[in-house]
Amino acid sequence: MNDISTKFYNAFIVKDRWQLYIQGLGVTIEIAVLAGLIGIVIGCIVALMKLSEPKKGHRHSLWWYIATAYVDIIRGTPSVLQLLIMWFIVFASSNNGVLVASLSFGINSGAYVSEIIRAGILAVDKGQMEAGRSLGLSKAQTMKEIVLPQAFKNVLPPIGNEFITLIKETAIVGYVSLSDLTRVASQISSRTYEAFMPLIGAAVIYFVLIKILTLLLEAFERRLRKSDLR
């Protein structure tokens, strides 16, 4: 027991190391939030591109091919490789690691969010589009005023799950020397020559954060279901 107490003291209390975990958690959340927002914007645009109507005589539109290529490339390559490409090639001259990581994860997340949004739009009954057009609305107006609000109600829970996944994926930012929660735990482990307590401590922090977000998401889903029954 004393040995465990000593390891805990060295990992969290000595030199106020607990503050490093807090700072690392802040970096993790900052990157995840920025990436999540970027991913939603990109996902909306790509989803609409994939749903764009083809020209007469063509099977798909040019926008569909561009969006499909983007989704295939992003989903077909490791996120850590994408991060390294962004850091060492695309933004090699940048010193803002948080921004580069956020863009990298945002672009990655956008590919998955686009498929979620596309599926949500396709899940809306086609009669909604026809009803909007019969009221004199243009296709764009019908999509904006009728279809998208219903689609977003369907896709918000899976987008929430995507954000939770994004938080865990940010653990690889240590590859570009960002001091997120995982890297802080690794650094403290190397200073104390003890891996168990720093890494388990980081795992507990991740678990608590994800559990809180999961409970909030479940509560939000329950509210959505209640509104559907009214």
Domains of the chain, by residue range, sit at 2-229
Q: Name the least confident of 32-36, 201-205, 212-216, 220-224.
A: 220-224
Residue-wise DSSP of 132-184: HHHTT--HHHHIIIIIHHHHHHHHHHHHHHHHHHHHHHGGGGGGGT---HHHH
Its pTM stands at 0.88
Asked if pLDDT for residue 228 goes beyond 70, the answer is no
* Structure confidence at residue 121 (pLDDT): 85
Torsion of CA 207, 152, 109, 170, to 10 degrees: -20
* The architecture CATH gives domain 2-229: Orthogonal Bundle (1.10)
Average pLDDT, integer, range 194-218: 93
- Structure token pair of residue 203: 């795992």
